[in-house]
Amino acid sequence: MNKELAAKLNLPALEKGWVWLVGAGPGDPGLITALGLQALSQADVILYDALVDEALMSLSKAEKIYAGKRAGVRSCKQDEISDLLVTLAKDGKRVLRLKGGDPFVFGRGGEEAQALARARVNFRIVPGITAGIGGLAYAGIPVTHRDTNHAVTFITGHGIDGKLTKLDWAAVSRGAPTLVLYMARKFAGEITQGLLAAGRSPNEPAAIIANAARKDQKVVITTLANLPAAAATAPTLAILVIGENVRLAKELNWMAEAFA
Ligand code: SAH
């Protein structure tokens, strides 16, 4: 981060013994915040997730520790990550914990922050653009629009036990007109079944946004009835969107080449 710019923006410095829990955004490295860039330039050590773009990582000379999951295998236990953050901070390091999207959205940032708070380590939360909002923008889908939805529900498909989240799908179905689902691709069949059984229309528009805001972004526009089939062939990293706002992609599809 350019020092003059940092001074003009009055950015705080990442101090020794502090941990900054930073969201890197959904993919496009340009979507990181100024505070995120500041942390990259000042950190002594970075603990990063699989979802963080390599171009961002290459900006920093810090020691880099991979702390994430790959191919669904947990290579690093959550407690170990939290303990490591605490230890590094207590050693007087400037610690950057860099996560994909927003650290407080389905990213266990809350758990890591709790561990820091309990260990009396100073920390700052730097929000990022979450895939369930920014990813939709890159697909030309406004997460809300006055013509289509006044509310939106964010859901994780993946429960704590690795199965589909235990949710009252009938209540979800009657709730917000637009549903944005993270970690839900492999549960698309069960989710669709639940929603159809609860009365959502099979013709309702649905979208799969895979590798959102990345060079290999792929957007599939379908219907709720066809969502399971479309999900079966979609790349793994994907957000599902169900709701009338999906229709707007036709008009607002600014990343035209991204459409299959
Ligand atoms: N904290 C992150 C979410 C972590 S959970 C955030 O705020 O975005 C991981 C899930 O996020 C993935 O299973 C996928 O559903 C979604 N996701 C994250 N980045 C994505 C991307 N670039 N494209 C599509 N989905 C993405």
Instruction: Using the Cα atoms of residue 127, residue 131, residue 133 and residue 137 in order, give the sign of their dihedral.
Output: positive
Write out pLDDT tens, residues 51-63. 999 999 999 999 9
The confidence score (pLDDT) of residue 260 equals: 47
- Residue 257: pLDDT band (50, 70, 90) is low
Write out pLDDT tens, residues 75-94. 568 889 999 999 999 999 99
Element housing 209 (H / E): strand 205-210
Whether 15 and 117 map to the same domain: the answer is yes
Whether 143 and 243 map to the same domain: the answer is yes
Whether 66 and 162 map to the same domain: the answer is no
Model confidence at 246: pLDDT above 70: yes
Total structural domains in the chain?
Answer: 2
Whether 89 and 164 map to the same domain: the answer is no
Whether 140 and 115 map to the same domain: the answer is no
Model confidence at 209: pLDDT above 90: yes
Q: What CATH number corresponds to the domain at position 183?
A: 3.30.950.10
Domain boundary among 126, 148, 164: 126
φ, ψ of residue 169 to 5 degrees: the values are -65, -30
Residues in CB range of 183: below 8 A, 6 or more apart: 106, 156, 157, 158
CA 67 to chain centre: 16
CA 62 to chain centre: 24
How far is the CA of 233 from the CAs of 99, 178, 227, in angstroms?
27, 23, 10
Catalytic: 1? Answer: no
For the chain, percent of residues with pLDDT exceeding 90: 90
Whether 14 and 104 map to the same domain: the answer is yes
| pTM (2 d.p.) | 0.95
- Residue 70: pLDDT band (50, 70, 90) is low
Whether 151 and 101 map to the same domain: the answer is no
Q: Whose CA is nearest to atom 4 of ligand 1?
A: 107
Q: What CATH number corresponds to the domain at position 95?
A: 3.40.1010.10
Catalytic choice (61, 69, 90, 163): 69
Catalytic: 61? Answer: no
The confidence score (pLDDT) of residue 143 equals: 98
Q: Does the CB atom of residue 207 touch ligand 1 within 6 A? A: no
Domain boundary among 87, 105, 126: 126
For residue 240, which atom of ligand 1 is closest to its CA?
A: 15
Model confidence at 21: pLDDT above 60: yes
Which of 22, 48, 51, 156 gets mutated to test ligand 1 (max ligand atoms within 8 A of its CB)?
51
Domain boundary among 126, 149, 166: 126
Whether 114 and 200 map to the same domain: the answer is no
Q: Which of 74-78, 166-170, 240-244 has the lowest mean pLDDT?
A: 74-78
Whether 40 and 146 map to the same domain: the answer is no
Catalytic choice (53, 93, 99, 183): 183
Whether 242 and 218 map to the same domain: the answer is yes
Whether 135 and 253 map to the same domain: the answer is yes
Model confidence at 102: pLDDT above 50: yes
Which domain covers residue 108, as residue numbers?
3-126
The confidence score (pLDDT) of residue 74 equals: 55
Q: What is the mean pLDDT of the segment spanning 148-165?
A: 93
Catalytic: 183? Answer: yes
Closest-CA residue to 102 (of 63, 139, 131): 131
Model confidence at 174: pLDDT above 90: yes
The confidence score (pLDDT) of residue 255 equals: 84
Whether 143 and 254 map to the same domain: the answer is yes
- Phi-psi domain of 235 (left: phi exceeds 0; alpha: psi -120 through 50; beta: other): beta
